[in-house]
Amino acid sequence: MSAAAAPAAAVELEPVIGLEVHVQLKTRTKMFCADSAEFGAEPNSNVCPVCLGLPGALPVVNGAAIELAVRAALGLGCTIHERSVFARKNYFYPDLPKGYQISQFDRPLATDGVLEVPTDGGGIRPVRIRRIHVEEDAGKSLHDRIPGATAIDLNRAGVPLVEIVSEPDLRTAADARAYLARLKQILQYLGVSDCDMEKGSLRVDANVSVRPRGSATLGTKTEVKNMNSFANVERAIGFEIERQSGIVASGRPVLHETLLWDAGRGVARTMRSKEESHDYRYFEEPDLPPLVLGAGWIRAVEETLPELPQRRERRFREEYGLPEYDAGVLTAERDVADYFEATARAAVDAKAASNWIMTEVLSWANEHEKPVAEVPVTPVALGDLIRLIAEGTLSSTAAKKVFAGMVETGRSAREIVEAEGLAQVSDADRLERWIDEVLAANPDEARRYAEGEAKLVGFFMGQIMKQSGGKADPERVSQILKARLR
């Protein structure tokens, strides 16, 4: 191939990603009226003149929504602006009855935050948050409800949202996913939103561009929408990076457009050329005064913030001496972390508490699809069980049985141990009898053991524990067995 015909020398490209995340605030009522914001109600049952945009109806700001938005902004280290301004974003769509959405534009609630994203290598990538503003949601178009027609459900119209806009600081699809996981975790800790993508209470638009590595300017971006899970956000961004890289490699320009992700086909397709903000004819909302928050009120909200996951994870390692893995699992969700701390207090042994929660407690919660707070064994009851093991009253094999009984009957560990005679047996005569029974039942192994095959001790331990219904004190049994070997 001649040099002239070769494509432009393969420049290494660097992906650049910024995310816009819409999060539904966990309020009882809508952003500007008193209709219920509940998910899943009978279509068009939660509507009123305000959210339907009927003439003369006036919006009133929902204070609870503002407080949640401020919590989110504080949790993400943003500067809260004591004065912000609502703006009308005008566009036509059948699910937007007013013909505009009340949002915020050039004077948002909060700016300049940061989210520390854990990266694959065990490091941290700080991603700057450009802005957080409050706005109302639109209704929902349902294309599969009525054959050949589109149905409109306006229950969601007017539900409160925050939009959280990152700077283009992300560089890989995996980091974008990690950003979302961390963001969701923080918002859940803060009680701001349930962040359930399936219910649409968290929605992500991914902005993607590529540029020659080392370049200081940004390439032309596209915006990808319509991802219904974090896994699909990652796939869609990966797809879009590849697509743009191919375009750039062939010397064509990337077009500034909005794409829709098709999860079934694994491709993103052009939806429209990208609208610019002037297309929306933003102007200050004439029906609402500026939103003015007192510095004292903001401080008071700040004082109610919980310890956030990253902090808590570090404290779990330092205060309880937990391994990094345990600390990560136990702080993934706030109610698990709360459950752990209460159990550790009751059990005394924090690592034992961690082991029980990471196995039995979380398995039960997962199996029953229930939050940990609804596991029928309270932290205090689990702590008692763990203390029985530490005291030597209960073997760990028997303890599993007791735990199952506690889940089933709600009785305490001590009650079950007594009722079912599960207390550990250390009495030498009783232990010798179990040992003799097992040796007699396995003459072959018994002979080899007597001849010095020491590794059979494990086999016998298992058999003896079984023979005793988990009640034999394993330490004493192993002592007796070893003595017999000699």
Least distance CB 207 / ligand ADP (angstroms): 3
158 scored as a contact of ligand ADP (CB under 6 A): no
Q: Where are the alpha helices (DSSP H) in 250-304?
A: 295-303
Least distance CB 66 / ligand ADP (angstroms): 23
Of 167 and 307, the one with the shorter C-beta distance to ligand ADP is 167
235/243 Cα distance (integer angstroms):
12
Least distance CB 309 / ligand ADP (angstroms): 23
The residue behind tokens 């005793």 is 468
19 scored as a contact of ligand ADP (CB under 6 A): yes
Q: Which stretch binds ligand ADP (CB under 6 A): 15-23, 230-238, 300-308, 382-390?
A: 15-23
335 scored as a contact of ligand ADP (CB under 6 A): no
- Other C-beta atoms within 10 Å of 400: how many? 15
Least distance CB 256 / ligand ADP (angstroms): 8
Query: Which residues inside 240-279 make contact with ligand ADP, applying CB under 6 A?
Result: 277
CB within 8 Å of 343: residues ≥ 6 apart = 353, 356, 357, 379, 380, 382, 383, 386
The residue behind tokens 């229930």 is 370
Least distance CB 416 / ligand ADP (angstroms): 55
Least distance CB 206 / ligand ADP (angstroms): 8
108/88 Cα distance (integer angstroms):
13
Output the CA–CA distances (angstroms, integers) from residue 347 to 155, 338, 344, 352, in the order listed: 47, 14, 5, 8
At 198, phi and psi to the nearest 5? -65, -35
Of 48 and 218, the one with the shorter C-beta distance to ligand ADP is 218
Query: Which residues inside 399-458 make contact with ligand ADP, applying CB under 6 A?
Result: none
Contact predicate 134/177, CB 8 Å? no
Of 60 and 218, the one with the shorter C-beta distance to ligand ADP is 218
Q: What string marks each residue from 197 to 236 as x (binds ligand ADP by CB under 6 A) or -? A: ----------xxx--------xx-x---------------
Number of residues located near ligand ADP, criterion CB under 6 A? 16
**Helix H or strand E segment including 277:** none
The 3-state DSSP class for residue 469 equals coil
366/361 Cα distance (integer angstroms):
9
Sheet holding 222-225, edge to edge: 79-80, 110-118, 124-136, 160-166, 13-24, 202-212, 222-225, 257-262, 267-273
Least distance CB 140 / ligand ADP (angstroms): 22
Of 257 and 262, the one with the shorter C-beta distance to ligand ADP is 257
Of 224 and 399, the one with the shorter C-beta distance to ligand ADP is 224
- Other C-beta atoms within 10 Å of 64: how many? 16
Least distance CB 184 / ligand ADP (angstroms): 17
Give me Rg for the CA atoms of the chain. 30
Of 13 and 389, the one with the shorter C-beta distance to ligand ADP is 13
Give, as one character, the DSSP assignment of residue 360: I
Q: What string marks each residue from 160 to 179 as x (binds ligand ADP by CB under 6 A) or -? A: -----xxxx-----------
Of 172 and 207, the one with the shorter C-beta distance to ligand ADP is 207
Q: Which stretch binds ligand ADP (CB under 6 A): 18-26, 30-38, 229-237, 429-437?
A: 18-26
Of 165 and 372, the one with the shorter C-beta distance to ligand ADP is 165
Least distance CB 166 / ligand ADP (angstroms): 5
Of 71 and 211, the one with the shorter C-beta distance to ligand ADP is 211
18 scored as a contact of ligand ADP (CB under 6 A): yes
With the C-alpha atoms ordered 79, 294, 20, 75, is the resulting torsion angle positive or negative? positive
Of 15 and 97, the one with the shorter C-beta distance to ligand ADP is 15
Least distance CB 16 / ligand ADP (angstroms): 4
Least distance CB 180 / ligand ADP (angstroms): 13
Of 166 and 412, the one with the shorter C-beta distance to ligand ADP is 166
Find the binder of ligand ADP among 11, 14, 20, 307 (CB under 6 A): 20
The residue behind tokens 């988990």 is 470
Contact predicate 259/241, CB 8 Å? no
Of 154 and 176, the one with the shorter C-beta distance to ligand ADP is 176
CB within 8 Å of 370: residues ≥ 6 apart = 364
Angle at the Cα of 360 (from 359 to 363), degrees rounded to 5?
80
108 scored as a contact of ligand ADP (CB under 6 A): no
Least distance CB 215 / ligand ADP (angstroms): 11
Token duo for residue 18 = 């910024």
CB within 8 Å of 56: residues ≥ 6 apart = 49
Question: What HEC string does 365-396 produce?
Answer: HHHCCCCHHHCCCCHHHHHHHHHHHHHCCCCH
Binding positions for ligand ADP, rule: CB under 6 A: 16-20, 165-168, 207-209, 218-219, 221, 277
